[in-house]
Amino acid sequence: MTWRIFISDRIHEDGLARLREAEDVTEVVLKPGLTAAELARELAQGYHALVVRSRTKVTRELLEAAPALRVVGRAGVGVDNIDLEAARERGIVVVNAPEATTDAVAEHTLALLFAVARHIPQADASMKAGRWEKKAFMGVELAGKTLGIIGVGRIGAAVARRARGLGMQTLGYDPYLSAEALAARGVEPVTDLAALLARSDVVSVHVPLTPETRGLLNAAAFARIKPGAIVLSTARGGVIDEEALLAALEDGRVAGAGLDVFEHEPPGATRLVTHPRVVATPHVAAQTREAQARVARDIADEVLAALRGRPLRWRVV
């Protein structure tokens, strides 16, 4: 059998080449930027695979409009933009590429931490405005500080490795991992989230957005956080209650935040985004040349394996 593949978000040329060179693939169509209705009309024409990144929302309605669809490939880690239950009901395989962006996201997490701890964006803006405000940007050192990691999967563990190289103590909270597994990933196991928040000078979030994790860091959590802590998130918007974080910044409970993800994207110039002690980036943690080439190759291989009925490395559904 031969296959038709539709790609609704841009992916690196390496992945496109793998799909186009496959002998059993007759058509690979790349059309980014379509509306939901336009994409539904395209998929109704008999495509067997759909490849998306985070922009495309793979809803129940979209899946119902695609009678030939066999596999959805998420070029990246998070699958909160895909209706997994609807895919499961229709027998559609969902795969992702969870390993390709690990280094990029871990590095960006540390970049945000340095930027917040040393006020780098503010100091740079001051210099570009022709000012020399040396006394205005008193920072804090990371060596000797405690980093609390919420979610110690691939990325959380990679952040921990890098933080230990900076002389930081690393704590880890992950209810899906045993104490032994957490210790093997280089963090001191903490079984209670409140205890991690109370002990950590820096709190970094690395969990997917699920019903259980939505609003995980809420007003109650910020009430327990160590005064003067820094909060980081390169995970998913919605895990942090943004109003609660803003309140904690305003009352000084949280010293600063580095955020790459937001509940609504793009968020616009909200009070949180424009807060003077927030460093905000537009969901770019995985945006390196190396990571995007790897993720495109990985998802191309996984989609082809799914179409061919071969074993899968990263099956979500």
Tell me whether residue 265 is one of the annotated catalytic residues: yes
In a domain, 187, yes or no: yes
Is residue 175 helix, strand or coil?
Answer: coil
Owner of token pair 């802590």: 229
Judgement on whether residues 154 and 265 belong to the same structural domain of the protein: yes
Rounded CA-CA distance 187/169 in Å is 8
For the whole model, what pTM was predicted?
Answer: 0.92
Please pick, among 162, 236, 294, 297, the residue that the annotation labels catalytic: 236
Judgement on whether residues 139 and 118 belong to the same structural domain of the protein: yes
Judgement on whether residues 170 and 72 belong to the same structural domain of the protein: no
In a domain, 27, yes or no: yes
Can you say whether the dihedral through the CA atoms of 55, 56, 60, 61 is positive or negative? positive
Cis peptide before 266 (omega within 30 of 0): yes
Judgement on whether residues 121 and 132 belong to the same structural domain of the protein: yes
Rounded CA-CA distance 243/248 in Å is 9
Contact by Cβ (8 Å): 270, 90? no
Neighbouring residues of 49: CB distance < 8 A, sequence distance ≥ 6: 3, 4, 5, 6, 69, 70, 71, 72, 73, 303, 306, 307
Tens of pLDDT along the chain (317 residues) come to 999 999 999 999 999 999 999 999 999 999 999 999 999 999 999 999 999 999 999 999 999 999 999 999 999 999 999 999 999 999 999 999 999 999 999 999 999 999 999 999 999 999 999 999 999 999 999 999 999 999 999 999 999 999 999 999 999 999 999 999 999 999 999 999 999 999 999 999 999 999 999 999 999 999 999 999 999 999 999 999 999 999 999 999 999 999 999 999 999 999 999 999 999 999 999 999 999 999 999 999 999 999 999 999 999 99
The CATH number for 77's domain is: 3.40.50.720
In a domain, 131, yes or no: yes
Tell me whether residue 236 is one of the annotated catalytic residues: yes
Q: What is the pLDDT of residues 89-107, one digit of tens each?
A: 999 999 999 999 999 999 9
Judgement on whether residues 139 and 250 belong to the same structural domain of the protein: yes
Give the CA count within 13 Å in the CB-facing half-sphere of 220. Answer: 5
Please pick, among 12, 119, 283, 297, the residue that the annotation labels catalytic: 283
In a domain, 94, yes or no: yes
In a domain, 313, yes or no: no
Judgement on whether residues 146 and 110 belong to the same structural domain of the protein: yes
Q: For residue 273, what are its two tokens?
A: 């985004």
Judgement on whether residues 224 and 294 belong to the same structural domain of the protein: no
Judgement on whether residues 264 and 208 belong to the same structural domain of the protein: yes
Give the CA count within 13 Å in the CB-facing half-sphere of 291. Answer: 20
Q: How far is CA 56 from the centre of its chain?
A: 15
Tell me whether residue 302 is one of the annotated catalytic residues: no
In a domain, 268, yes or no: yes
Interior angle at CA 271, CA 265 and CA 197, nearest 5:
85
Judgement on whether residues 53 and 87 belong to the same structural domain of the protein: yes
> Residue 199's domain spans which residues?
102-280
In a domain, 315, yes or no: no
Judgement on whether residues 158 and 205 belong to the same structural domain of the protein: yes
Tell me, what's the pLDDT at 103? 98
Burial call 90-126: b when 16+ CB within 10 Å, e when fewer: bebbbbbbbebbbbbbbbbbbbbbebbbbbebbbeeb
Q: Considering its fold, how many domains does the chain have in total?
A: 2
Which whole-number Å values give the CA distances from 194 to 131, 146, 203, 221, in the listed order? 42, 15, 12, 7
Please pick, among 89, 265, 308, 313, the residue that the annotation labels catalytic: 265
Judgement on whether residues 179 and 295 belong to the same structural domain of the protein: no
In a domain, 213, yes or no: yes
Judgement on whether residues 275 and 294 belong to the same structural domain of the protein: no
